[in-house]
Amino acid sequence: MNTNFIPERAIIRTIVHENEQISTFRLELINKNVPFTFLPGQFLMLSVPHCGEAAISISSSPEALPLFDLSIRKAGELTLAIHKIQEGDQVGVRGPFGTPFPIEEFASKNLLFIAGGIGLAPLKSVIDHCLFQSSTKEDAAGSITLLYGSRSPSDIAFRQVIELWKKQGVDCRITVDEKDSSWNGNVGLVTDLLSRCATDSNTRSLVCGPPIMIRFVISQLSAMGCDDTAIFTTLERHMKCGMGLCGHCHLDGKLVCIDGPVFSLSQLKRLDVTEFSR
């Protein structure tokens, strides 16, 4: 019997409207006897009725299980369809898949998160996880910094959780490419925020966002003296199976769904990654 492509049923418990384009769907498996756990950076194959499957990063941390979040931007057929789904409706999930962030390596390090737009989703899982692991507010205050860029003030997603993180001591700095009358915060690219940050050998940087942002942030981090093994990103690729069979995410001898999606810069430099060569 082929169960490779058969998902587990999940119910949508709550939907958080992050902005016009992005919502966070809080899910729970219907069959509570299915063993299900994951680590930050892993993804699921999400089934939406009649729309097939798409690879989506898990945006919550494992501590929130049995609930888990998928933060989804309206981009194509499936992602548009899920935005029409309501609380209590069912979807399917397979997974988790992929290599997570090396979280053990992050203990007692200063963590610098740099995200653009929906790119905060996979990093949010890491931040939540680290906050859960940090015993005191002071612990987090000294060690976690978030630089978050959005196109405009109305594009800023994850506002609720960012407010929560601030209360928990995370140094959150937000910037927008273009301001409007409501905005009196930073204006400019996320790289402008980065140039006002200091890094040292104890810093681990986690970068996720549009390819062009990743490219500029990574080269800036390198120029600031960060080691290639201390910079991590997570790649987006078209995927059809999530388990190393379909071939879509093949990248220079590696499979992004198995060997990634999380890669260190030192791993990426050995691969022919177009994001960084254009």
Partner 1 sequence: MIDLKELILEKDNLYPLLRKLMKDARLIAPVENEFGDTLFSVIDDIDTTKIDLTNQPQESLKPFFLPQQETVASYTIDEGEYSFTPPPPALQTIFFGVRSCDLTALLYMDLIFSKPVKDATYYDRRNHSLIITLGCNQPFDNCFCEATGSGPYLEYGYGLQFIDLGDCFYVSAGRSKGADLLKKWSYFFREVEEDDQKRRYQLLLEARGQFTKNIQVAHACRKLQKEPVTEEIWEQLSSRCYDCGGCAYVCPTCTCFSVDDTPIDRNSGLRIRSWDACTSSGFTRMTGGDNPIDRSRHALKRRFLHKLKYDFSSHGKASCTGCGRCVDICFGGVDITTFIDLFTKQETV
* Among 127-135, 189-197, 219-227, 238-246, the segment contacting partner 1 (CB under 8 A): 238-246
Provide, rounded to whole angstroms, the least separation between the CB of residue 150 and partner 1. Answer: 17
Question: From residue 97 to residue 126, what is the string marking binding to partner 1 with x (rule CB under 8 A)?
Answer: ------------------------------
Residue 151 contacts partner 1 per CB under 8 A: no
Does position 227 interact with partner 1 (CB under 8 A)? The reply is: no
Query: Is 49 among the residues that bind partner 1 (CB under 8 A)?
Result: yes
Our CB check for partner 1 shows the closer of 45 and 230 to be 45
Between CA 224 and CA 80 the distance in angstroms is: 40
Closer residue to partner 1, CB minimum distance, 64 or 246: 246
Residue with tokens 């993804």: 43
Q: Report whether 118 contacts 157 (CB < 8 A).
A: yes
Tell me if 236 contacts partner 1 by CB under 8 A: yes
Q: Supply 211's token pair.
A: 């390819």
Name the residue nearer to partner 1 (CB basis): 29 or 230: 29
Binding status of residue 32 toward partner 1 by CB under 8 A? no
The C-alpha atoms of residue 221 and residue 224 are separated, in whole angstroms, by 5
Least spacing, CB of residue 156 vs partner 1, in Å: 19
Identified binder of partner 1 from the candidate list 15, 51, 189, 271, rule CB under 8 A: 51
Indicate whether 23 belongs to the interface with partner 1 (CB under 8 A): no
Residues found in the chain: 278
Nearest to residue 222, comparing CAs of 274, 175, 187, 264?
264
CA 219 to chain centre: 20
Asked if 211 interacts with partner 1 (CB under 8 A), we say yes
Smallest distance from the beta carbon of 263 to partner 1, in angstroms?
14
Give the residue, chosen from 20, 66, 67, 75, that forms a contact with partner 1 under the rule CB under 8 A.
75
Write the single-letter amino acid at 253: G
**Those residues with Cβ within 8 angstroms of residue 16's Cβ, 6 or more apart along the chain or in another chain:** 23, 24, 26, 160
What is the closest distance, in whole angstroms, from the C-beta atom of residue 194 to partner 1 in the complex?
Answer: 23
Closer residue to partner 1 (CB): 159 or 250? 250
Q: State the nearest-atom distance from the C-beta of 155 to partner 1, in Å.
A: 15
**At a CB cut-off of 8 Å and minimum separation 6, what does 224 contact?**
194, 199
Of 103 and 258, which CB lies nearer to partner 1 in the complex structure?
Answer: 258
| Cα Rg of the chain (Å, integer) | 18
Neighbouring-strand partners of residue 147: 114, 173
Greatest alpha-carbon pair distance for the chain in Å reads 59
CA distance 250 to 232: 19
Amino acid, single-letter form, for residue 104: E
DSSP H helices, the chain, are 77-82, 120-133, 137-143, 159-167, 190-195, 211-223, 256-259, 265-268
The rounded distance, in Å, linking the Cα atoms of 48 and 69 is 15
Binding site for partner 1 (CB under 8 A): 1-7, 9, 47, 49-54, 75-76, 78-79, 88-92, 211, 236-238, 240-241, 243-248, 250, 252-253, 258, 273-275
